Amino acid sequence: MAGRPRKPTNLLEMSGALRKNPKRGKARAAEPRPDGLLGDPPERWKPHPLAAQATALFAEGKSTNEVAAALQIDWETTKSLRDQNAAADKAQLTCLWNEVSVMAPWLTSADRWTVESIVELKLLERKGAIKPGERAELGRLCGKCGLNPSDRTRVNMSPPAPRKGEAADPREAFMRKVGTG
């Protein structure tokens, strides 16, 4: 049987547990703090630059070999461009990624892999092709990222206090002053 999951440091700070037991805070002093935002969707979801031209050539009745020769790309790439479902899925994945990044602005670059999984599972759900185990995993991942109402109560959006010996980020102070942070 596994032990109890570790309580996040920000919750320990808010509850006063770190003041009560300073050694607990020292043990977490080197805890990583991701800096970057979630960012753009993965490159592999972006459409091929020649996708529109290939679609037009296929619509004219050209074969995969003819389109490959006309666009000077390899046959495998041309074959993948012929599959309209794959192109539509990439567009939907990108839209879902953007939805998540708007719904959860607290997610960072360290959450990218988790968000990729959420987005891919959500696409399966929207297509009606999700299995019960995948649906459970989608719910678990959404909870870990604070995308469920009860889990969102555990998200702390306040900027972290600087660590001992670490200077405060002047950008954060400016954003708080301006009122956007």
Model pLDDT for residues 122-133, shown as the tens digit of each residue: 999 999 999 999
Same domain, 119 and 140: yes
Same domain, 62 and 100: no
Domain boundary (55, 82, 109) is at 82
Residue 7 lies in a domain: no
Same domain, 75 and 108: no
Model pLDDT for residues 14-54, shown as the tens digit of each residue: 788 888 888 888 888 777 777 788 999 999 888 888 888 88
Q: Give the chain's end-to-end CA distance (angstroms, integer).
A: 42
Residue 137 lies in a domain: yes
Question: Whole-number mean pLDDT of the chain?
Answer: 84
Same domain, 78 and 88: no
Residue 16 lies in a domain: no
pLDDT band at residue 63 under the 50/70/90 scheme: very high
Residue 104 belongs to domain spanning: 84-152
Same domain, 102 and 143: yes
pLDDT-wise least confident of 21-25, 100-104, 116-120, 125-129: 21-25
Residue 96 lies in a domain: yes
Q: How many domains are there within the chain?
A: 2
Residue 170 lies in a domain: no
CA distance 154 to 102: 18
pTM for this model (two decimals)? 0.65
Residue 178 lies in a domain: no
Residue 172 confidence (pLDDT): 65
pLDDT band at residue 166 under the 50/70/90 scheme: low
Residue 157 lies in a domain: no
Domain boundary (54, 82, 110) is at 82
What is the rounded average pLDDT of the residues 69-98? 88
pLDDT-wise least confident of 37-46, 63-72, 159-168: 159-168
Same domain, 131 and 100: yes
pLDDT-wise least confident of 5-14, 95-104, 109-118, 136-145: 5-14
Same domain, 71 and 124: no
Residue 74 lies in a domain: yes
Beta bridge partners of 108: 37
Residue 5 confidence (pLDDT): 75
